[in-house]
A and B are shown apart, each in its own frame.
Chain A
Amino acid sequence: GDSVTQMEGPVTLSEEAFLTINCTYTATGYPSLFWYVQYPGEGLQLLLKATKADDKGSNKGFEATYRKETTSFHLEKGSVQVSDSAVYFCALSPPPNYGGATNKLIFGTGTLLAVQP
């Protein structure tokens, strides 16, 4: 079945360091891909998404490119801040004709990012 694998955490970085969180997926067809973020004490928030191969999603300085050939959607940021400390989830949504419920999300296990001043 469809699945998402992301790098285990915690990832600990100093402020202004470069961030990469790896995410790979297994899916039938062409899923949509997402990164969600969960700040301490808050609900899941959509960070960025990409709906087709070679699309780049971006938001708040974060970027991820949909790579069909490597089935990857790695999250990157050039210079992290303390306020970026959170848990990051990679997720996919199967295309409607494969996955049943539209927008049904399949999540990875999450990666905790801790940014130190």
Chain B
Amino acid sequence: GAGVSQSPRYKVAKRGQDVALRCDPISGHVSLFWYQQALGQGPEFLTYFQNEAQLDKSGLPSDRFFAERPEGSVSTLKIQRTQQEDSAVYLCASGIRAGNTIYFGEGSWLTVV
């Protein structure tokens, strides 16, 4: 497809389990962002990549959260030892280059039980 693709769309994890969320940005897009959206809230910034370089990870809530984009295209957000407070929608967005409009995927809904 032409848009940002995220998988899985829905994930139920038991507390303590590790999860990996995948983002396929629009082809050729340099910028890639991850956001976390709790129920009833606006999205909150987690981290930003320009190509394969992670330029800003100031929004990652703890060292259990890790993101990578090794070849400058697909990105994975990994959450280790999931906790109930990690339950949220995780949004990925990409932009053709820094400073341009970014496009969001539909999100990965994570529920930790």
Contacts and interface: CB of A to CB of B under 8 A. Distances in A.
Interface majority SS (helix, strand, loop, mixed), chain A: loop
A103 B98 CA distance: 7
A42 interface: yes
A25 interface: no
A43 B93 CA distance: 10
Contacts of A46: 101-103
B76 to A, nearest CB: 19
Contacts of B33: 101, 103-105
B44 A109 contact: no
Contacts, number: 63
Contacts of B42: 4, 89, 91, 107-110
Contacts of B56: 100-101, 104
Interface residues of B, number: 28
Interface residues of A, number: 23
B4 A103 contact: no
A17 interface: no
B49 to A, nearest CB: 9
Contact of A43 (B31, B101, B104): B104
Interface of A: 4, 36, 41-46, 49, 89, 91, 96, 100-110
